[in-house]
Amino acid sequence: MNTPWRTYLLWFAQENVQFRFAEMNSLLSLLNIQMKFIQKPKDIEPYWIVEFASEKDVRLLASRAVSLRSCLELWAHGKSIPDLHEKLKLYPHHLMAPYLQPDKSFKIEVETFCKHFTQKEKVDKIESFNYLPVMGPVDLRKPDVTLQYIEYYGIISNDPPDLPYDVFFGRWIANGLRQLIQKLSLKTRKFIGNTSMDAQLSLLMANQAGVKEGDIVLDPFVGSGSLLVAAAQFGAYVFGTDIDYLMLHARTRPSRITQKEREKDESIKANMKQYNLENRYLDVLVNDFSVSFWRSNIELDAIITDPPYGIRESTERVGTAKECNAVKEEHLSTHIPAKTEYGISSLYSDLLSFSAKHLRVGGRLVCWFPVFREDYDENYLPSHPCLELVANNEQTLTKVTSRHLLTYKKTETFNPLHTAQNEIMDFRERYYTAREETRKERRTRETKIRQENRLRHEKETHDKTNIS
């Protein structure tokens, strides 16, 4: 006989909201979990009301979800406090009885979203549930059962309503993986650079890539290796490449204001050692991504990367505009190849073609893509016949620019005749052109203001002279 599905409340952190759906959908697919929505969630609200076939599935999902704060088995939900109490009194006794037995210690937690209450007010709310048939002792430290009462007052914290919009009551099941964000924080990391990806976004990218135990994961623009740390945390074996020799050897200027020079042992490997992930680290290599040196049969489970956009980090490839570029034999041992610009259109074309060739079928590419918001059109995103775009989430950078986190899934075997499609606008050129236009507009506006001030001053002086 099939066990009936039960209702649960998923309570999310209210940050990086735009990546919530993509992360959860990736994890549901990765963990082979089915979930049903009781009501369609809104992007701005921090909760979902859903159904799962088993509590085991809820715990499994929470063990990987970075955007998730906690999960409750939902016993009652109302649009007002009296409505909640009426529904809770009607909740089937046989479903709550196993958790309210004499041998089960318990506590009730009160949480309010976007409104503060005193401890006395919270105690009063707890005592309003005195009709519950609880028989076990109270244990505020390590209870066997934790019951949670939540009042939701919207998301505008400086002007909350007098009464809550929604109220919830249920049994706490599990917390999400939020503590991992603090553990991997860049503030305490051994080696970072100017563009190191923060821990939360790195973990979200690894989840969207569906990284699991034993996977082989590559970051072809590895920088200081933040994405490798996140993928290794979830059990992958990781390696990376980058054209920047100085960055990979920690010889760039320190990124921390208080740090005058790099420590001798700074490296991506040192980061792995810091988090006890050294056994997941394969290597990093100095490499020009535009010139592939890989064996044709190498197969990867995921590619996770943040390519340079040509703004804070240059987009470069090995090359020169000189006609006579031969290097004499006596200089070969110390020769550092000249570099030329690696246009964004070529870079993303190479990235998608490489992914289509070297990902296993079902493997994923997760990468950032910069756009000018007024020019954005999904039809002009990078594409490849072997890759399906399964998630596209925007993160706003400035008033005019943003970047999209694109998640592709390889759906068919690579065909050498297939190539990456879509000619991409040069973001770097567009960025600096827009900056220059903004400067001209600002100079024009400032000149106009100075002229108006001068004319006003002349008029005031003239009026005073006439009065005299």
pLDDT digits (tens, 9 = 90+) for 156-168: 888 889 999 999 9
Beta bridge partners of residue 219, listed in sequence order? 240
Which tokens is 151 given?
């009042």
Q: Is the dihedral of CA 16, 159, 50, 55 positive or negative?
A: positive
Taking the C-alpha atoms of residue 64 and residue 204, their distance in angstroms, rounded to an integer, is 10
Taking a C-beta distance cutoff of 8 angstroms, is the pair 416, 296 a contact? no
Q: 3-state class of 11 per DSSP?
A: strand
Burial class of residue 369, CB neighbours in 10 A (0-12, 13-18, 19+): buried
Q: 3-state class of 442 per DSSP?
A: helix
H helix runs in 46-195, sequence order? 55-62, 81-89, 93-96, 119-127, 179-183
| Residue 440: predicted pLDDT | 66
| Residue 344: predicted pLDDT | 86
Percent helix, strand and coil across the chain, each to the nearest 5: 35, 25, 40
Total residue length of the chain: 468
0.75 exceeded by pTM: yes
Taking the C-alpha atoms of residue 409 and residue 389, their distance in angstroms, rounded to an integer, is 7
Taking the C-alpha atoms of residue 421 and residue 432, their distance in angstroms, rounded to an integer, is 25
Taking the C-alpha atoms of residue 144 and residue 63, their distance in angstroms, rounded to an integer, is 20
Domains annotated for the chain, with CATH where assigned, are: 6-177 (3.30.2130.30), 184-320+331-429 (3.40.50.150)
pLDDT digits (tens, 9 = 90+) for 176-192: 999 999 999 999 999 99
Taking the C-alpha atoms of residue 47 and residue 297, their distance in angstroms, rounded to an integer, is 45
| Residue 324: predicted pLDDT | 67
Q: What is the mean pLDDT of each run of 10 residues along the chain (468 residues)?
A: 85 94 97 94 91 96 97 97 97 94 96 92 95 94 96 90 95 97 95 93 98 97 96 97 90 86 92 97 93 90 91 71 68 69 86 96 96 86 94 91 95 87 71 66 72 76 67
Which tokens is 104 given?
């089960």
Taking the C-alpha atoms of residue 305 and residue 405, their distance in angstroms, rounded to an integer, is 10
Taking a C-beta distance cutoff of 8 angstroms, is the pair 69, 17 a contact? no
Strands 359-372 and 401-410, by their bridges, are antiparallel
| Residue 418: predicted pLDDT | 83
Taking the C-alpha atoms of residue 445 and residue 435, their distance in angstroms, rounded to an integer, is 15
Residues 6+ apart with CB under 8 A from 100: 106, 132, 133, 134, 135, 136, 145
Residues 6+ apart with CB under 8 A from 437: none
Taking the C-alpha atoms of residue 46 and residue 364, their distance in angstroms, rounded to an integer, is 28
